[in-house]
Structure 1
Amino acid sequence: MLFDKAVGYVESKGISKDKVLYIPNGFDTERTTSSIEISDELKQLFRKHAGKTIAIYTGAHGKANNLDIIIDSAKEIQRKKVSTHFILIGNGPEKERLRERIEKEDISIVTMLDPVKKEMIPEILKKVDVGLLPLVDSPVFKWGISPNKLFDYMGASLPVLLLCDLEGTPVELSNGGRVIKTNFEKSIIDFFANINKEEMNKLGENGRKYVEEHHAWERLAIKLEKKMIQDVKNK
């Protein structure tokens, strides 16, 4: 199972928890050294906003991704003149509506970009300060979360701003960012208005250490191998 609390679901179906092995999504610790150079468009964007706190979202632009709350917050952050810029990279059914909203409401501190090659993501994450993971309230999340982008952010030593009403997430367990459970917009605004580089670096270091210990593919592979060997011996 990918989700740490999914054992409860399995047990509710009358299956023994002994038959469950929890292996979450992982992080390739060598991936940050085998990426490709970022595009000229991105280089220009980072030069333009040098010195600002840059927050990034990489992934699908759908209803489940709750990107409206990021745009709502950015609008107020722009009004307050907090030195921040948001980058949203990806595609999805909500993208055009979100793009139109940004243009109509003249939110200049948000840049939307088309999807990029997966191999470029590590280089992009080296240039930014915060990883964004906004989630809508959904029954499926009560079993836990394990999105790849979360471990991409943490593996890149980025503090993660996670929006969800969940206990025991990797962000919380690692002290690798902030888990915002209520008052999303106000909490996002407060975070960017008050955080400093030293705090962001410390949170990012915490997250990187946690994924190395708990989500490195090498460790997860060993965990699976041990279970398989044990099962073979038992039979």
Structure 2
Amino acid sequence: MNILLIDHYGGSESMGMEYRPYYLGREWVAGGHRVTIVAASFSHLRKRQPTVDSDLISTEEEGVRFRWVRTGRYRGNGLGRVGNMLTFVSKLYAFADRIAREERPDVVICSSTYPLDIYPGARIAARCGAQLVFEVHDLWPLTPMLLGGYSAAHPYIRLLQRAEDWAYRRADKVVSILPLASSYMTGRGMAPCKFVHIPNGVRVATLQEGGEGLPLPETVVSRIRQERERGRFLVGYAGGMNDSNAVAMIVEAASLLASEPLTFILVGEGVNTHALAAAAQSRSLTNFHLMGAIPKQSVPKFLAEMDALTMTWWRSPLYRYGVSPNKIFDYMLAARPIVQACDAANDLVTDAGCGITVPSEDTAAYADALLRMCRMPLVERIRMGRSGRHYVLERHDYRILAARFLSALAGALRTAPEPDSVALSNPASAS
């Protein structure tokens, strides 16, 4: 099968996030399929950007081809990022016939966070008689409306809403990482038979191939050693320091637990890093340490050095459709017990029997759960950690998820129409 996957933010292990298309692609290539990812030349999620001199130049990593659309650089979530999105989508639409002619895909997967890529994706699929798949990471425009405070009447939101509704009607399959999103999607016009749930996961083969991975930075090693010498119970966090992650709740818990033998060590970076550091400093906390970003290949070693791992969520109606966070699967794979504050419709930690879940934004309950974990017998914490590892290996290895994805596609493959036989509106006029 020849698979074309469109993901504005597509990355790889060497470039950085996002990883899902690449991990799925590697598994499909290993199974004998041809995979090409079309992505923007600049993404704020990547640590390293590709060198792109012209549109649609191709590169390759581990058998996965990338074709790059040149876009401008930006910072933050302002107009620069919106301009980057619109450049990517408009160029992709302009190049759609060329991509269809050169790639001849059997399947076109539209997988950017926002839904606007469905228009050029549908045009490519129509020109080749290919199956069209709409993959939903987050529910846009619902996510920026609920988390960013945008009005439904905002022109940008209306543009996104029109694209989302069109995608649900037009796509042959709708793949979602959110387990309970079907009810929302059918309310926007999707036929229920189109829905397929394929969650996030971990690529176990990558860890096996990488051996010990990269060593931890000396600053992190030194901090862990100092806290161990103090006889501390170490709680780790690995992830972004951004608005979407309620890391401020960890600062509050550290303040409540200042007199207990428990230390928080956090790795990662984001727009809220300085604010979190200032909040910890204002409380004179000695049990809360921000260590900055570390290489992805070092994260498993960091997680393994911790006694327990944690993550926190804001309370939001968005999570009634479920969650599938990458970091929870990395945590489980590390075989460490987890304490999370979360009110989502699904509870992966409880399902796996690998930790404690308390309500979002209930700092007292969160701090109490952390203290209970600290005082729990080691044998019980080991049991929890092993349960989480078993759960993720059985259900969330990307080898398993990639096979499930292809199985869903196989059930929907249709007879190809004649090329150019499907009329498509352009992005400005589609409805």
Q: What amino acid is aligned across from residue 197 of structure 2 in structure 1?
A: Y
**What is aligned with 1:89?**
267
Match of 1:60 in 2: 240
Distance 1:104 1:233 in 2: 62
More deviation in 120-129 or 183-192? 183-192
Q: Aligned to 1:231, what secondary structure does the other structure show? A: coil
Contact 2:341 2:361 in 1 (8 A): no
- TM-score (ref. length: structure 1): 0.92
Q: Equivalents in 1 of 2:363, 2:250: separation in Å?
A: 8
RMSD: 1.8
| Counterpart pick for 1:232 among 413, 417, 420 | 413
* Kept after mapping to 2: 8 A contact 1:137/1:165: yes
Q: Deviations along 1:5-55, whole A, 9 cap, x unmatched?
A: 011111111322210111111112234442211111111111111242211
Residue 193 of structure 2 is matched in structure 1 by 18
Distance in 2 between the 1:145 and 1:40 partners? 34
Matched, 1:167 2:345: yes
Distance 2:415 2:192 in 1: 17
1:199 Cα offset (Å): 2.2
* Per-residue deviation, 1:123: 0.9
TM-fit CA distance, 1:110: 0.4
Aligned to 2:382, which of 195, 201, 204? 201
| Matched position secondary structure for 1:64 | coil
Residue type of the partner of 2:345? Answer: E
Structure 1: distance between partners of 2:261 and 2:415: 60
Q: Give the distance between the partners of 1:161 and 1:193, measured in 2 at CA.
A: 10
Aligned to 2:289, what secondary structure does the other structure show? Answer: strand
Deviation at 1:64, TM superposition (A): 2.3
In structure 2, the residue corresponding to 1:49 is in which secondary structure?
A: helix
- Give the conservation status (yes or no) of the 8 Å contact 2:341–2:366: no
More helix by share: 1
Q: For 1:172, what is the secondary structure of its paired residue?
A: helix
Contact 2:311 2:339 in 1 (8 A): yes
Is 1:54–1:87's contact at 8 Å kept on the other side of the alignment? yes
Report what 1:145 is aligned to: 323
1:6 corresponds, among 175, 181, 186, to 181
Identity of aligned residues (%): 23
* SS of equivalent to 1:137: coil
* 8 Å CA contact retained: 1:158, 1:201: yes
Q: Is 1:171–1:177's contact at 8 Å kept on the other side of the alignment?
A: yes
Aligned length: 233
- Could you state the TM-score of these two structures normalised by the residue count of structure 2? 0.51
- Give ranges in structure 1 of 5+ residues lacking alignment: none
User: 2: distance between equivalents of 1:153 and 1:124?
Assistant: 10
* Counterpart residue type for residue 252 of structure 2: D
Q: CA deviation at 1:157?
A: 1.0
Look at both structures and tell me which one has the larger radius of gyration over its CA atoms. 2
**Does residue 27 of structure 1 match 2:202?**
yes
Q: Alignment partner for residue 218 of structure 2, among 29, 40, 47?
A: 40
